[in-house]
Amino acid sequence: MERTMDLCRELFVKLRKNELHDGDKVFLEGWVRGNRDNGSVGFIEFNDGTCFKNVQLVYTNETTGYEAISHFKYAASISVKGSIKLTPENKQPFEILVEEAAVLGDVSDDYPLQKKRHSFEFLRDIAYLRPRANTFNALYRVRNKLAFAIHLFFQERGFMYVHTPIITGNDAEGAGQCFKVVEDLKNPTEFFNANSCLTVSGQLHVEPFALAFRDTYTFGPTFRAEHSNTSRHASEFWMIEPEIAFADLEDDMNLMEEFLKFIINYVLTNCPDEMNFFNTMIEKGVIDKMNAILNSSFKRMTYTEAIEILDKAAKNGKKFEYNNIFWGMDLQSEHERYITEEVVKGPVFLINYPKEIKSFYMKLNSDNKTVAACDLLVPGVGEICGGSQREDNYDLLKTRMDEQGNTEILEWYLNLRKYGGCIHSGFGLGFDRLLMYLTGLSNIRDVQPYPRTPGSLKY
């Protein structure tokens, strides 16, 4: 099939360049997003998928087939021949005067979507139709641009993109949240070995590349068998994990800040229509919030300081669900949010966590109690990003790994410390959590095309 039709996206580009003129002929194929008429004139909100904005089609009782066109149904796919009419004084800068239109694919009466707002829960259940709903149309466009911006940032700076494996033999985080890989569901035998599982993080596999290429990153799907049924946890999510050699925690945090600002700025600049939509329909002020991030420098606070602040707040009557605050505790989301939303009122790096609550590969600080780790906390989400300087001392790492019981399976990882090792650091940014933050959508199930969460695998 030769695709000779025009695209709405290109019409908007021509308009911007003053290359769209009254009377220009167009041929479009797309979908009806609304159709109303008063007997002598009718309007179709039309979208061909190539841009977020709809285009208005106008038909009058002089248009051939007025009656049939006035019955074009919501969501039908149609073809249209017509001509451009510039309307600079109207909300839509141009419309298309229909000369001929035909239905390509009609819509049966059981079509579940209507031209009204549906609840997110309802839409989740029809994930295969969600891309047509405005919110999700905008979201998937932003998701696409954001993924591109991530590669752009790293590629412009000479980082090497590494494809780390999805099937692996180790639980990188050591938190016991791996999905097992078995060969045959009816007779579950291990295809590889007793430990084969889906990756929880590409970090351990990207570190050897950092020790050869210096600046590297991996960006791919990761899997966690966490039974936490929250709005921020998914069983499958994408993670961006840069790993940089000859770099300490400070360098790591600087990279995180520069990276985050770059991709936020990229989305604000390249998805203005979508971001305006989120700003009016989902979270009022989200654009200002993002601009504030761009213009702020991220605060740093030690874990110990955070505990002191939380303890004081609890003693002064602040009600946390987990109200027993003590040094050594793992911070709950409510604590993280209190720090970022009410104390700092912006993004903050929490650093130097007790070693007991962090992963085995993190660099032990000279106090022998804390590790050179950082979590980036942001308002509305809490932890969005976690990183650390990696333990580069062979003996210290071996001790931690012996405690963890993974020395044997990760011998190669330990060896890196005696084969020309160096100070190196990295972080992991949850792509889906970042999207929640950028769009104001408050449930991770609403930022993924096909969310996987405990008990939910419909598509």
Q: Does 451 bind Mg ion (CB under 5 A)?
A: no
Q: For residues 191 and 246, which CB has a smaller minimum distance to ligand 4AD in the complex?
A: 246
What whole-number distance in Å separates Cα of residue 382 and Cα of residue 316?
22
Residue closest to Mg ion (Cβ)? 386
Place of tokens 């009022």: 284
Q: Does 379 bind Mg ion (CB under 5 A)?
A: no
Instruction: Determine phi and psi for 58, rounding to 5 degrees.
Output: -120, 130
Is the Cβ–Cβ distance between 218 and 163 less than 8 Å? yes
Say which entry of Mg ion, ligand 4AD, none residue 217 contacts (CB below 5 to 8 A, set by partner kind): none
Residues with Cβ < 8 Å from 354, sequence gap 6 or more?
303, 327, 328, 369, 370, 371
Q: For residues 28 and 244, which CB has a smaller minimum distance to ligand 4AD in the complex?
A: 244
Least separation, in Å, of the C-beta of 13 and Mg ion?
A: 42
Residues with Cβ < 8 Å from 317, sequence gap 6 or more?
none
Q: For residues 84 and 434, which CB has a smaller minimum distance to ligand 4AD in the complex?
A: 434
Helix ranges restricted to H, 81-174: 120-125, 134-156
Binding mask 383-402 for Mg ion (x = CB under 5 A): ---x----------------
Handedness of CA 402, 406, 412, 414 (dihedral sign): negative
Q: For residues 261 and 390, which CB has a smaller minimum distance to ligand 4AD in the complex?
A: 390
Say which entry of ligand 4AD, Mg ion, none residue 63 contacts (CB below 5 to 8 A, set by partner kind): none
**3-state secondary structure (DSSP) of residue 66:** helix
Say which entry of Mg ion, ligand 4AD, none residue 215 contacts (CB below 5 to 8 A, set by partner kind): none
Least separation, in Å, of the C-beta of 4 and ligand 4AD?
A: 43
Say which entry of ligand 4AD, Mg ion, none residue 239 contacts (CB below 5 to 8 A, set by partner kind): ligand 4AD
Beta bridge partners of 27: 81
Please report, in angstroms and rounded to a whole number, the separation of the first and last CA atoms in the chain.
Answer: 30
Say which entry of ligand 4AD, Mg ion, none residue 203 contacts (CB below 5 to 8 A, set by partner kind): ligand 4AD
**Token duo for residue 195:** 């430990």
Say which entry of Mg ion, ligand 4AD, none residue 275 contacts (CB below 5 to 8 A, set by partner kind): none
Q: For residues 74 and 179, which CB has a smaller minimum distance to ligand 4AD in the complex?
A: 179
| Interaction site with ligand 4AD (CB under 6 A) | 172-173, 201, 203, 224, 226, 233-234, 237, 239, 241, 383-388, 426-428, 430, 432-433, 444
Q: For residues 70 and 388, which CB has a smaller minimum distance to ligand 4AD in the complex?
A: 388
Say which entry of ligand 4AD, Mg ion, none residue 168 contacts (CB below 5 to 8 A, set by partner kind): none
Q: For residues 141 and 433, which CB has a smaller minimum distance to ligand 4AD in the complex?
A: 433
CA geometry: angle at 261 spanning 143 and 304, to 5°? 110
Q: For residues 101 and 267, which CB has a smaller minimum distance to ligand 4AD in the complex?
A: 267
Number of residues engaging Mg ion in binding (CB under 5 A): 1
Q: For residues 330 and 402, which CB has a smaller minimum distance to ligand 4AD in the complex?
A: 330
Binding mask 334-373 for Mg ion (x = CB under 5 A): ----------------------------------------
Say which entry of Mg ion, ligand 4AD, none residue 433 contacts (CB below 5 to 8 A, set by partner kind): ligand 4AD
Indicate the burial class of 330 (C-beta count within 10 angstroms; 0-12, 13-18, 19 or more): exposed
Is the Cβ–Cβ distance between 58 and 19 less than 8 Å? no
Cα–chain-centroid distance for residue 198?
20
Indicate the burial class of 129 (C-beta count within 10 angstroms; 0-12, 13-18, 19 or more): middle
Least separation, in Å, of the C-beta of 288 and ligand 4AD?
A: 23
What whole-number distance in Å separates Cα of residue 94 and Cα of residue 299?
47
Place of tokens 């290109």: 10
Is the Cβ–Cβ distance between 189 and 182 less than 8 Å? yes
* Interacting residue ranges for Mg ion, rule: CB under 5 A: 386
